[in-house]
Structure 1
């Protein structure tokens, strides 16, 4: 019963998304020129991205693997795909552009074009298998992003661009860099409102003892809670030994099956944009002004309109006409 109610709730959320996008668009028309330009433009970007995503394939869930150099992100990508697709490196960034692996190609073409993934960086999962057996990940679009800490600014910009578009972000962390302040300050804390569409993976667990793994996991959990990401799950994996890969695949399969990540992402984006507009427009009822305020307003408007001067000129004109008519005084 609980599962049925949850499914119906998600269906209602999805059904209302076009209405919310349209409402935000109308609000932007009303505040244009009245609110800071950067706030309005940022919200317009949300409306555009949300509208595009809702028009594209709802049967696919876009999941991005994001992480720092040497985190094992590409190794994890290969392990999930079951193929050696991404080049693996330890010290230097080897992922210069996003690579996509797609389970179920029907309807994915327009989605990949919207993401800006070149054809040479796309792999259709069924096209590299001899059997066309339907996978538990059918409908998954898995991206291996460039390293967010790359020395190449183009790599960092590509990560920022795609993180704004994807349905679910899986942050791949390693025991050495999981507490990196730049990552928490620049990427994670600003996305606290999107906790429901982020997952954190502590990778390379095979390099630690069991007590150290538990300590790192607890420390990471505490850091994420401090970032406002308490709802985001934390998994422990090792791409080399396969530790935790079953749990990660099960999580991805559940997100793909329920198709809830894309709706949750669009909903979170719209909420953030609406909150930004509300912050600059104020909220609540406007109190009725008292008599003194009304009198002061009337006086100010009269002065602005030059009412005193007009009244004086009218008096002079009236007196002149009266004297001419009566000959008096």
Structure 2
């Protein structure tokens, strides 16, 4: 189950440099919150890159009663997390490690002091699995802990249950804003042992519909039961693939950079006022420089190249010499490889990164 694919195009280093350049150019001209947010993303990315890239940090996140801790114990093969009727059960995050050698500095950076060695074998060497508090906890400190770690981990595994999978708190506070992170997102429908097979299928279809509306098209959705073990082999296989690829950390950071660049672009007003026009007039070429930096940071050159390749690919498939058409059908469509073929979340687009920024800075 290979879910991540290498993407050709601007490197993470070049995109981070472009994001910092855009933040510097936007200083004093765009809202400070957007500028400081972009710098924070760059700093966080730099810190993560300097820590172990041989480990993949996956977090089990979800609402009260979704069964995160039970799933955590089932995957780890030991009763590491307390499971009980009284809520909330999990107050601080804890980590299960499969071969934790060299993971100490990474866990220190994550500020997760509770660490356990997993009891299960297999091909999960390098996995750090976190059990998070409830994102809808009645305790504010628990929700803040979730929000903090959701910004830091490499892979997000959202655990939902048949009763609360459509909860607005999940979709509006997390999934929709994290649409750019769909390559590092997995959704697990837990407690399927409580439902008849037809009801499970209905829930999965409805969850898929909600995810598509959130801009999360293509995100894996697995049906599992931590109690009976249903679906656990498939979840383990997915985690094994992600760990062996060692790309989740970089995919996460790339999505962070894209989101930060979009944040800078959308922070620009639709029409530049006199002050903005004066600032641009006093610094010739600054508008184009900011637009170029934002485009590079957001990966727009990569998307533009993929669009061109995609048009050529589809043209050959549709109109080329019969033998060429037949051979082309076995080659992946460049747009589908990038997962940008009709998959942008509502209200966002690659063009939005250059469009609004260009209007603001050119006046």
1:282, distance to aligned residue in structure 2 (A): 8.4
2: CA distance, partners of 1:138 / 1:278? 40
Aligned to 2:202: 215
Q: Of residues 97, 108, 113 in structure 2, which corresponds to 1:102?
A: 97
Q: Of residues 126, 134, 143 in structure 1, which corresponds to 2:130?
A: 143
1: CA distance, partners of 2:159 / 2:267? 36
Q: Is 1:172 the equivalent of 2:159?
A: yes
Q: Of residues 109, 116, 122 in structure 1, which corresponds to 2:111?
A: 116
Deviating above 6 A after TM superposition, structure 1's stretches of 4 or more consecutive aligned residues are: none
Q: How has the CA–CA distance of structure 1 residues 49 and 31 changed in structure 2, closer, same or farther, with 3 Å as cutoff? A: same
Aligned to 1:224: 211
2: CA distance, partners of 1:180 / 1:278? 30
Gaps of at least 5 residues in structure 1 are 284-296, 298-329
**SS of equivalent residue, structure 2 residue 11:** helix
1:91, distance to aligned residue in structure 2 (A): 4.8
Aligned to 1:205: 192
Q: Of residues 41, 48, 59 in structure 1, which corresponds to 2:36?
A: 41
2: CA distance, partners of 1:174 / 1:90? 16
Assess if the C-alpha contact under 8 Å between 1:70 and 1:89 holds in 2.
Answer: no
2: CA distance, partners of 1:148 / 1:252? 22
**SS of equivalent residue, structure 1 residue 44:** helix
2: CA distance, partners of 1:281 / 1:216? 40
Give the 5 Å matches for 1:74-85.
74-85=69-80
Q: Of residues 217, 236, 240 in structure 1, which corresponds to 2:227?
A: 240
- TM-score, reference length from structure 1: 0.78
- Structure of higher CA gyration radius: 1
Assess if the C-alpha contact under 8 Å between 1:18 and 1:54 holds in 2.
Answer: no
Aligned to 2:319: none
2: CA distance, partners of 1:86 / 1:198? 23
Aligned to 1:249: 236
Q: Of residues 72, 75, 84 in structure 2, which corresponds to 1:89?
A: 84
Aligned residues: 269
CA RMSD, Structure 1 to Structure 2 (Å):
2.0
Aligned to 1:156: 143
More helix by share: 1
Give the 5 Å matches for 1:8-27.
9-10=6-7, 16-27=11-22
Q: Is 1:194 the equivalent of 2:193?
A: no
Assess if the C-alpha contact under 8 Å between 1:18 and 1:51 holds in 2.
Answer: no
2: CA distance, partners of 1:73 / 1:62? 16
2: CA distance, partners of 1:52 / 1:117? 16
Assess if the C-alpha contact under 8 Å between 1:70 and 1:91 holds in 2.
Answer: no
2: CA distance, partners of 1:17 / 1:107? 23
1: CA distance, partners of 2:235 / 2:47? 28
Q: How has the CA–CA distance of structure 1 residues 215 and 91 changed in structure 2, closer, same or farther, with 3 Å as cutoff? A: farther
After alignment, is 273-282 or 30-39 more displaced? 273-282
**Per-residue CA distance 1:79-129 (angstroms, 9 max, x = gap):** 0011110011245111000010111122201100010111xx11133xx68
Q: How has the CA–CA distance of structure 1 residues 228 and 142 changed in structure 2, closer, same or farther, with 3 Å as cutoff? A: same
Q: How has the CA–CA distance of structure 1 residues 280 and 178 changed in structure 2, closer, same or farther, with 3 Å as cutoff? A: closer
